[in-house]
Structures are given as C-alpha cells and as structure tokens.
Structure 1
C-alpha cells in the first residue's frame, strides 16, 4: 500500500508540473499569435521559436519534473512513514501483542502525530483491558474457590458421618451459598454495566431520602463496627433507579464498616452547578495516592490478605462506579490532605425521566 501511495503522490506532482508547463506554453503561444502580433506587426513566424528557445523550454521542463519528483517523494515519505508505523503496530496488536506502539519521527505533519497518539492511546487501553481481564479471570476463580471448597468439605463430612447434622451447620452452609450468590450477582451487575445494558427503572427521587433509608438499614452494622455516623442531607432531586442507587449507597457504607471500623463517617447529599451528589467520608486509614488510582478496579483490595476475611469481594467500589455511569454520572475518590477516604457519587441534574 505504501509503495502505491508513494508512486501516486510522485505521479500527481509530475502531472501538476506538466499541467503548469502546458498552461505556460500554450499561454505564450496565444500571447505571441494574438497579442504580440497585434502590438508588433513586424514580428514574423520565423522569430517565434528558435532552437535555443526549444532547448531552454526542454531544460526548464526537465528541471520542473525532477524537482516535482523529488518533492513528491519527500512528501510521500513523510505521509507514509507514520502510516507504516501504525499499520505495523496494528498488525502486532492483531496478533496478540498489546504492548506494540506506533512511533513518529520529527518533522511529520500534525495530523500524523494525532493519528499515532490516538492509536497508541487505543493500544494502551486494549493492553489495560487485557491485563484486567486476565486478572479478573484469576480473581473470580480465587473468590469462588474458597466458599466452594468449604461447601464441599462440609457436605463430604455430612455424607461420611464426620459431622452431625444440625440447624447451625445448615445455616453456615446456607451462608456460603449466599456468598456465592452475592458474588455471581455482583459479577452480573458489573458485566451489564460495562456493556451499557444495566436495566434502570427510573423515577423522580431525592438522594437525601435514599441516603437516609440506606443508613437506617445499616444502623446495626455501623454500630457493630463502632462507627459514629453523622449526616448532612440536603435536598437533591433527580431521576434515577431507586433500587440501584440504594445498592450503591449501601455498598459505600459497608465499605466503611469493613475498612474503617471505629471511625467517624459523614454522609452528605446536595446539589452543585451541574450535578447532584452523594458523598461518604470516613476518618479511617484511607488510601495512598497509588491505591486511590486503583480503587475502582475489579477485585482489587488495598490489603489482599484481609479482604476476604472481612467479607469483601473487591467488587463494591467497581459496582458503585458502574451504577453511577449507567445513570450518566460518575463515582470518584475526592482528594484530601487528611486521613480517611471520601467517595462521591455524582449524577446529572434531571427533573424529568430519561
């Protein structure tokens, strides 16, 4: 393709030179025959073009074609090189090498630079997605293995007579089944959110009322974790899915119970210029800057050794973000100089249904 483009550009430059030469040549003929002859009647046809004139015109034409060919080749090279680089990188990406990147030399066109930058950004996102997919597959297997192993051990013990059937034993088995069901439902919610297919039953609601309901439902869990909860709930009306928003609010409060026990939690709702918000701020250990950047990754935990022990699957914050994005909003961790963590859900200001 590149050779074809090179030759086309060179041929186009040569054709342009020949066209310019033809315009000049026939323009001179018209000038000499119709204008010059009228101004200078003594002019004769023998004086029109002598051998020297023809040689001069030939030299000029040759110089023009050579110059056009050289400029066309230089221009074609500057155009084709970034295209070849992008094509080669795209071929490597298609073969599974997501680390491939296109390169750009100095002196290329601005559009070529934009093309290379856009391609490299796309390749980087593909590489991150591939890495996240591989990690997610491994993490899913890890998350499901523990409750399945426990279930199998208990059931095998019951079958062999090693365990005596009792309501308490069956209750623990049911709890493990509930854990598996919760993980499956969380994965389903994430998959639907990432595919843009999360079903929303929207209605007009006030975030303050939903936040109050979420905190009321978790009063016992918050007290058990030693959390002192305060609230500043301002009116924040929008249209959203009540059940999904309640799920997101509960997920943030449960996250405080797991990772910030004994802290103070402030829950706020309100309205800004372009959005309504739900904000949950705790005074717990918080996260480092590096960990904040990864907080919304699936199955990620700041402390891998304690996440499952505290009941967390590493899907809480990713689900919160997926729900916010499904409503056209976003979830983000607010910067803070103090200890603790502040997570905010932002939703568009809407007074009418979607």
Structure 2
C-alpha cells in the first residue's frame, strides 16, 4: 500500500524520541561545559584542571549516548504501537464499510489509551447507525414501491375497465377513482414530510397556541370516523399554551386518533392535554389490544405495522406514527409509546413549553 511521504506514525514517533534524546544529551553536555567554564575561568582562575580527555571519557560518553538512544527507540516504538493499533482496526473497518460491508466493526486492542477507546466506540456507533440507515433505506424503497403499487394497480384496472366498457361511468365511479388518487396524494405528502424532517428542513410556523384547542379541533375533524369505529372519547383537555405550529400539531393529533380508530375499534379512548413541568403534553390512551414490547420499540419505524398480515385498508400506510415523531422532534420535543400494565396503547407527545414573546415581556399576560 502506498505510504505518504512523511512516513508512518510508528517511525515518526521513534525518530521524535531519538531526537528528544539527542537534544537532552546536547543540553546536558553544553551545560557541563558551561559549568566547568564558569568554575575554572571566573571563580577559580588559579586552579589547574586536568585538561586531558581520556579514552575512558569518550567510551563513557558513547555508552551513555547509545543507551539513551536505545531506550528512546524502545519507548517510542512501544508507544507508537499502542497508538497505531486501534487506528489500524478503525482503518480496516472503514475500508470494509467503503466496500459496502456495513456490518464491519473496529476492535479495541488491549492496553489502548482512553482516547483510542473513545475513538473506537464512536466509530462503531457511527457504523451501527450507517448499517441501520442502509437497512431502513432498502426496506423503505421496497415498502414505498409496495404502497404505491396497490392504489396504482387499482386505478389502472378501473381505467382499463372503463376503456373496455366493463364499468359504466357515473358520479359514484368517479368518486371512487378520486378516492384512490387521494390515497396516492396522501402517501406522497407523508413521504415528503418525513423526507423534510430527515433533512432538518421541516419548516414550522410558530404561533401562540393551546394544545387543548388543537386537540379539540382534531377530535371534531374525526368525529364521524370515531363514531363509525364505535369509539367513546373521554376528553381531559386542560390548558397547555406554548409556541408551536398549529397545523402540524393537528396533523400529528389526527394521525394518533386515526391509529386508535384503526387498531382499537369499539374501545374507550381518553385524550388529555396538560402542562408537565417545562413541557406541554398531549396523550391519547385507548383500550384496544395494545402492542408487544418489541412493537413499542418499532412503532415509530417507517412502514411498520403492528400486524404485518393487515392489508392497507386496515393497517394504513405505516407512516402515521413516524410522522407524529417527526413533527414532535421538529418542535424540539418527542413522541413516546408509554409502557403500561393494562391492555391498550398510550401515545404521548411532549413539547417544550415556550412562552409567547408578548407574555415574556408582560408578566400580566398568561
């Protein structure tokens, strides 16, 4: 493998240690000469020092210098090995990742420095995230193709039937076609929202809002769907004012409520808003069958459904809860699945409680 002109780190550290030894030897030698010069020229000029340089002196100086160089070389070589060993493992793993093997991980050699331990740990975390992103990307591409294929196939079949005279055109038929187009538009808009969130470009129009008002608006918008699902809603909407994007929050609340309609029909649903310390909270708790521990961990993964056997008509697109988390994080908050000993599912959206600029200036404004 080609090496840079500067040489390897091992040789550079060894040469640096040798240079340090030679420098120290030169300093000691010059210091001794200066010392004797001061002694015999300034302080005791009448003294008669032995100025002859014996062979033994030369041998002794050579032995001291040689021993110092050997010690410095050995210390530098061992130090360089301890520094280079973790770098080599990271470099080897990086080369494997560059070839497409995202399962590669760096090993930590024994006796490594704390900084090397941190480097290897950070590299392995990065590699793990890359592997997860690669897996999610491959799965997302397949899932997107599947989700778009279903309404497109239905649309093509209906249009082909219309062309062949199998279907008779009429308002009801066209309404069904428009519904399929709306499904496609909804999937595209959901994908766009997630893409903007992943890129950190999900723009928010922050205005003073009350979570209680936005939750009430979402419940009103889904009143017919909730009634059709046989869901009785209990509202505990306490004031929870903050600065947020009302339209985006309504989108998130509607997604949570649609999830309850889909997976907890004929079950009670409780919707709460409140202030919890420095956060404002929206919580939706249903009395449905709930999901497993693994399901709670994967509930916010794109295209994941609690039951893979569900068709799209029952399971949705699998993008609802991921969008809920994306909107919450865009506000600096978080979306959570709360653990519970009772059946059902509790989804919580927590946002930082931000006072409006006017209320921050005027202590009398609440």
TM-score normalized by structure 1?
A: 0.95
Displacement of 1:168 in angstroms is 2.1
> Is structure 2 residue 178 aligned with structure 1 residue 174?
yes
Q: Distance in 1 between matches of 2:129 and 2:234?
A: 40
Q: Does 1:86 align with 2:90?
A: yes
2:286 aligns to what? 282
Bigger shift: 104-113 or 21-30?
21-30
Are positions 1:257 and 2:261 aligned together?
Answer: yes
Kindly indicate whether residue 343 of structure 2 is the aligned counterpart of residue 349 of structure 1: no
| Residue 247 of structure 2 corresponds to residue 243 of structure 1 | yes
Residues of 2 paired with 1:36 and 1:258: CA distance? Answer: 102
**Of the candidates 274, 297, 300, which is equivalent to residue 301 of structure 2?**
297
Q: Which of these residues, 223, 228, 242, is aligned with residue 227 of structure 2?
A: 223
Please tell me whether the aligned partners of residues 307 and 313 of structure 1 are also in contact (alpha carbons under 8 angstroms). no
> 1:183 aligned to 160, 181, 187, which one?
187
- Post-superposition offset of 1:36: 6.3
Question: Do the aligned residues in 2 keep the contact of 1:282 with 1:342 (CA within 8 Å)?
Answer: yes
Please say which of residues 256-265 and 80-89 is displaced more in the overlay: 80-89
> Aligned partners of 2:40 and 2:60: how far apart in 1?
21
SS at match of 2:273: strand
> Which residue of 2 is the match for residue 9 of structure 1?
13
8 Å CA contact 2:305–2:315 kept in 1: the answer is no
CA contact (8 A) 2:263 2:288 kept: yes
CA apart distance, 1:33: 2.5
Structure 2: unaligned runs, 5 residues or longer: 358-366
SS in 1 for 2:8: helix
2:162 counterpart (147, 158, 161)? 158
Alpha-carbon separation, structure 1, partners of 2:197 and 2:80:
45
Deviations 1:81-117 (A, max 9, x none): 2112212222222222211111111101100111111
User: Superposed, which structure 2 residues align to 1:1-354 within 5 Å?
Assistant: 4-35=8-39, 38=43, 42-46=47-51, 49-310=53-314, 312-352=316-356
Q: How many equivalent residue pairs?
A: 352
Structure 1 range deviating more: 166-175 or 309-318: 166-175
Deviations 1:186-241 (A, max 9, x none): 11111111111112222100001111111122122112112121121121111111
- Cα displacement (A) at 1:352: 2.9
CA offset at residue 32 of structure 1? Answer: 2.2
Q: CA deviation at 1:273?
A: 2.0
Does 167-176 or 198-207 show the bigger shift? 167-176
Deviations along 1:29-54, one digit per CA (max 9) or x if unpaired, are 2222323674695441336x422222
Q: Tell me, which stretches of 5 or more residues in structure 1 are unaligned?
A: none
- In 1, the alpha carbon distance for the partners of 2:180 and 2:146 equals 15
Question: Cα distance 1:347–1:307, how it changes in 2: closer, same or farther (>3 A)?
Answer: farther
What is the alpha-carbon root mean square deviation over aligned residues?
1.7
Contact 1:307 1:314 in 2 (8 A): no
Q: Is the 8 A contact 1:102 1:116 kept in 2?
A: yes
Structure 1 contact 277–346 (Cα < 8 Å) conserved: yes
CA distance in 2: counterparts of 1:4 and 1:352, whole angstroms: 59
Instruction: Determine helix, strand or coil for the equivalent of 1:271.
Output: strand
Contact 2:40 2:49 in 1 (8 A): no
Corresponding residue SS for 2:108: coil
SS in 1 for 2:101: coil
Contact 1:329 1:345 in 2 (8 A): yes
